[in-house]
Structure 1
Amino acid sequence: MPDIDDEEAEVIKYGLELIIGEVPKILLLFIIAIVLKIGWLVIFAYFTMLPYKIVAGGFHLKTNIGCTIGTLSIYYGNVLISKYITWTQIYTKYIVILIAFVFSMIMVSLYAPADTVNLPILTKKEKKNKKRFILHICNSIINRFNSN
């Protein structure tokens, strides 16, 4: 086995922390969803929001329990709202979608990418480039839907 320097050890440690933090959270998310009989809806919501979360960098809370509660709230909230709230007038649905999209873009522009201890953003230029990339992805998605 090759010798591991301090930098490689930090990368390995960070990877293990991610696995230890994320796997139980995802398992809990899906187990509770199955018990509540909303498993397929949560799976759909999870994979629908996954690209957004990857590009935006997620929202970072200070503790693992806070992160777990926040994650469960976001996914179950989306699923339960979409399951139990129906819009009788079609324009109301699109207005709500537009408001949610604008709110999401504001939150992404203010808080993403997150500058954390584990994932520091060293320069303002890096943060600016990441924001441009996020906005480019969102613009591409909007244009894709407009072209159909």
Structure 2
Amino acid sequence: MNTLVSYLVKKISETNSQFTELELKKMNYGFVCLFDEITKIIPYYIIFYLFSLQQYYIVIFLFFCPIRLFSGGFHAKTYWGCFFISFVTFCVMIIIGKYITINILTSIVVLISSILLVYIFSPVDNINKRIKSKERRNKLKYLSVVITSLLGGMSYMIPNKFFTTAVLAIFMAVMMMMMGCISNNKDKNCSSDN
């Protein structure tokens, strides 16, 4: 994967010399992240499709990933570690979401708690890409809170059979954020000190 990305970035730099070394490094990192995600998203979809669970997977994807994108979270040290941790997490959310129903009061408590935790602890630094400016950190924090709030509201508008899955996806995104915060040197890189 890295060889393919390096080749692609090299070809881009040869055909367009206006990119600086820093821009090429950012491009390389972006392509690696993109290919890593694509090589997880597609196999997961295929596996869940084979078990007729693709709708639950799509709900999880839509309610989990946007929060994670802005708030950050736990990152495994290797691609395969990430692949299997994510897959198991998605499986657990699908199984619980499919077979357990939560009531409105419980969902309200879970969603309000999730929003508060996002406000207190987001964004969590990725070990490979630290958030350096306080302005960017604050922007990501507020985007995380807004996205979590909007998704929480949207969870009440989807079909009932997916409601628990949506609420659980939001909650798990927040739990993964907390795990990332803990794994980053016992809250050293969390924004609770901002």
Matches for 1:1-148 after TM superposition, within 5 Å: 1-3=15-17, 4-86=19-101, 93-105=103-115, 107-109=117-119, 111-139=121-149
Measure how far apart 1:10 and its partner are.
Answer: 0.4
Contact 2:70 2:144 in 1 (8 A): yes
In structure 2, relative to structure 1, the CA distance for the partners of 1:45 and 1:71 (3 Å cut) is same
RMSD: 2.9
Normalized against structure 2, the TM-score is what? 0.59
In structure 2, relative to structure 1, the CA distance for the partners of 1:96 and 1:69 (3 Å cut) is farther
- Partner Cα distance (1:41, 1:34) in 2: 10
Contact 2:123 2:141 in 1 (8 A): yes
Task: Name the SS for the 2:111 alignment partner.
Answer: helix
Measure how far apart 1:81 and its partner are.
Answer: 0.8
In structure 2, relative to structure 1, the CA distance for the partners of 1:34 and 1:112 (3 Å cut) is same
Which AA in structure 2 matches 1:8? E
- Larger relative contact order, structure 1 or 2 (CA cutoff 8 Å, min sep 6): 2
- Partner Cα distance (1:104, 1:10) in 2: 35
Contact 2:111 2:152 in 1 (8 A): no
Which AA in structure 1 matches 2:16? P
- Percent identity over paired residues: 23
